[in-house]
């Protein structure tokens, strides 16, 4: 199976279990900018323990998934990884954080065509903000460049006021200013 097929299968499972989700990270960035290769997928999910246990148990044949680790990650609003056995493709389950920005981000997701199927995708602005947050946490130039590439392609369509408001809240104003300066110079 290709990465896209594995991901489509997994997203279909989320929908089957009525788990609200959004594709985030590099897969979302690839929807808004020139795509780049990625070796994993970040899927933000909102689930309760019972539904998460049911989902994890359903993955047993095709994926390596740690039920106890996933429940712990859910309780701490962190990340749990699952790996497709055949392909080695990794999917990071990012549990919705208990903070105002995460609520807004999740509400702003939209249905978009994703490899031929309608899927819930993070907005361009939220993809930029999240990439900047990850860039700051890991001092990652790759994450910053992903955000910059989304901004370059989506420049005229971006809600700059939204970006500025949440950049301040997330502590990434300096990184956003670098992006905006680059756009102004282009």
What pLDDT, in 10s, does the model give residues 112-129?
A: 998 889 999 999 999 999
pTM: 0.93
Query: Can you give the three-state secondary structure of 26-58, one letter per residue?
Result: HHHHHHHCCCCCCCEEEEEEECCHHHHHHHHHH
For 11-48, how does the pLDDT look when each residue is reduced to its tens digit (9 = 90+)?
Answer: 999 999 999 999 999 999 999 998 888 889 999 999 99
CB atoms < 10 A from the CB of 117, how many? 13
- Do the Cβ atoms of 40 and 84 come closer than 8 Å? no
For 59-94, how does the pLDDT look when each residue is reduced to its tens digit (9 = 90+)?
Answer: 989 999 999 999 999 999 999 999 999 999 999 999
Burial 10-35 (b: 16+ CB within 10 A, else e): bbeebeeeebebbbbbbbbbbbbbee
Q: Return d(Cα 67, Cα 165) in angstroms, integer.
A: 37
CATH 3.40.50.970 at 1-122, yes or no: no
Look up residue 159 and give its two tokens: 């809600």
The full set of domain ranges for the chain reads: 1-122, 124-186
Pairing type for strands 90-95 and 40-46 reads parallel
Give the whole-number percent of the chain exceeding pLDDT 70: 100
- The helix or strand, by DSSP H or E, that contains position 133, with its residue range, turns out to be helix 124-138
Give how far Cα 78 sits from Cα of 73, 166, 176, Å. 5, 20, 24
């Amino acid at each position: 199976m290709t990465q896209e097929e594995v991901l489509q299968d997994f997203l279909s499972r989320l929908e089957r279990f009525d788990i609200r989700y959004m594709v985030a990270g590099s897969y979302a960035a690839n929807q808004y900018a020139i795509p780049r290769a990625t070796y994993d997928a970040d899927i933000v999910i909102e689930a309760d323990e019972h539904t998460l246990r049911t989902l994890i148990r359903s993955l047993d044949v095709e994926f390596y998934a740690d039920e106890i680790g996933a429940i712990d990650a859910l309780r701490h609003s962190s990340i749990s990884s699952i790996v497709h056995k055949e392909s080695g493709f990794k999917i990071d389950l990012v549990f919705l954080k208990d903070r105002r920005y995460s609520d807004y981000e999740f509400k702003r997701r939209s249905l978009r065509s994703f490899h031929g199927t309608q899927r819930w995708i993070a907005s361009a602005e939220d993809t930029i903000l999240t990439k900047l947050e990850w860039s700051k946490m890991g001092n990652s130039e790759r994450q910053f460049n992903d955000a910059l590439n989304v901004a370059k392609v989506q420049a005229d369509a971006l809600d700059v006021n939204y970006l500025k408001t949440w950049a301040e809240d997330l502590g990434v104003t300096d990184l956003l200013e670098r992006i905006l300066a680059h756009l102004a110079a282009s």
